[in-house]
Copies of this chain bind each other. A is one copy, B any other.
């Protein structure tokens, strides 16, 4: 199949999938922003549309007529090169354009993109489509996090559906690896981000890595042993964080009559002890590991072990800071604002999650969040 037709098919599938994720929502759910890091679903569906309009249609379609002159201001996320924008914490103040208008915008841009793809465009255009598709897939995963946060903070705790649920894991024990030079980073097979480019060698010491993620039951032992009260287990910033935010359990957990419940997309229910613990910050992951007398893996250990691991239910916090690989080069132009500029004070997570779109995971993928983030689909794997 020709590359443009293959891309067109993937493009259309991705566009549909974004809409499918939003299907269980009420119009009202598209609008709210209960914390600054959470974007309203309306914004996601507009922004993942704007990206194609801005970086493809405006540049490569002759006489392209923008859908609405103000939408670039409304749906730009953080691209300084593209101009001013609604400040992130204010996205939840936007009642207009109404959802149906954003959906119209979405369909208009989808249609124009399909036409562009069918016109046998240059490789440059196809490459940007590839970025756009991957960009939208990232927003699909964020959409799931944000929808869960929006619904999970409603007093009425509404049900979304059984999608995106995790399964029990139960393989005990550790895999062992020998010290030596290992190859890290993406080689050129399929799309990868600039932050994983530059395949290079890393010297690792002997290490062991656990076969399963830490379960809710194991995490409860930590809680019951006073883990949230023993400062010696915590990083200094982590301790300050849980004091200030009064955190005593993973996000979405509530203690009711002595039993732990949690909000899931399928409603409010008892914590399932055998499922992997979810919605913990890096700080909590690190404290748990410390309590076990172990540690979190580095991102290099993880990548080296990936082929043996059964990964993919939850993103796994590593003890690696998000930093450039040797010879890292950021892309030119606005697309260069994609990864490099976030390389400070973030932690790398590796793997993928039940919310990760099909085809959007690989062992070299470097996800990153601030150490205090809890609304993502994060879990804990131990190392020693």
A contact residues vs B (CB 8 Å cutoff): 26-34, 42, 70, 73-74, 78, 80-81, 86, 90, 92-99, 150-151, 153-156, 158, 181, 200-203, 205, 231-232, 234-239, 282-283, 286, 295, 319-321, 323-324, 326-327, 336-337, 341-345, 347, 371
Q: How far is the CB of A285 from chain B (nearest CB, A)?
A: 12
Asked, given contacts A181-B203, A371-B345, whether A156 binds B32 with beta carbons under 8 Å apart, the answer is no
Q: How far is the CB of A254 from chain B (nearest CB, A)?
A: 15
Of B31, B205, B342, which is within 8 A of A32 by CB? Answer: B31
The docked-state distance in angstroms from the alpha carbon of A343 to that of B239 is 13
- In the complex, chain B residues whose CB is within 8 Å of the CB of A343: 235
Copies held by the complex: 4
Closest partner residue, chain B, to A184 (CB atom): B203
Inter-subunit contact B319/A95 (CB<8 Å):
no
- In the complex, chain B residues whose CB is within 8 Å of the CB of A26: 95-96, 98
Knowing that A34-B90, A74-B155, A96-B155 touch, tell me 12 more A-B residue pairs with CB under 8 angstroms: A26-B98, A27-B98, A28-B98, A31-B31, A31-B32, A32-B92, A32-B94, A34-B93, A70-B155, A81-B231, A181-B181, A345-B371
Q: How far is the CB of A337 from chain B (nearest CB, A)?
A: 8
Inter-subunit contact B28/A232 (CB<8 Å):
no
Closest partner residue, chain B, to A327 (CB atom): B205
Inter-subunit contact A341/B234 (CB<8 Å):
yes
The docked-state distance in angstroms from the alpha carbon of A344 to that of B74 is 35
- In the complex, chain B residues whose CB is within 8 Å of the CB of A286: 344
Inter-subunit contact B341/A80 (CB<8 Å):
no
- In the complex, chain B residues whose CB is within 8 Å of the CB of A327: 205
Inter-subunit contact A202/B203 (CB<8 Å):
yes
Closest partner residue, chain B, to A149 (CB atom): B93
Q: How far is the CB of A374 from chain B (nearest CB, A)?
A: 15
Inter-subunit contact B95/A92 (CB<8 Å):
no
Of B155, B200, B237, B342, which is within 8 A of A205 by CB? Answer: B200
The docked-state distance in angstroms from the alpha carbon of A238 to that of B80 is 14
Inter-subunit contact B235/A96 (CB<8 Å):
no
- In the complex, chain B residues whose CB is within 8 Å of the CB of A31: 28, 31-32, 95
Query: 13 interchain pairs (CB within 8 A)?
Result: A26-B95, A27-B27, A28-B28, A28-B31, A28-B95, A33-B93, A96-B155, A96-B156, A96-B158, A181-B203, A205-B326, A282-B344, A344-B371
Interface centre among A151, A282, A321 (most CB of B within 10 A): A321
Inter-subunit contact B326/A319 (CB<8 Å):
no
The docked-state distance in angstroms from the alpha carbon of A28 to that of B90 is 15
Inter-subunit contact A235/B341 (CB<8 Å):
yes
Inter-subunit contact B203/A203 (CB<8 Å):
yes
- In the complex, chain B residues whose CB is within 8 Å of the CB of A237: 342, 344-345
The docked-state distance in angstroms from the alpha carbon of A95 to that of B149 is 12
The docked-state distance in angstroms from the alpha carbon of A81 to that of B327 is 44
- In the complex, chain B residues whose CB is within 8 Å of the CB of A321: 321, 323
- In the complex, chain B residues whose CB is within 8 Å of the CB of A201: 203
Closest 4 CB pairs of A and B: A321-B321, A28-B95, A34-B93, A203-B203
Q: How far is the CB of A229 from chain B (nearest CB, A)?
A: 11
The docked-state distance in angstroms from the alpha carbon of A239 to that of B342 is 11
Inter-subunit contact A32/B93 (CB<8 Å):
yes
Of B42, B73, B324, which is within 8 A of A319 by CB? Answer: B324
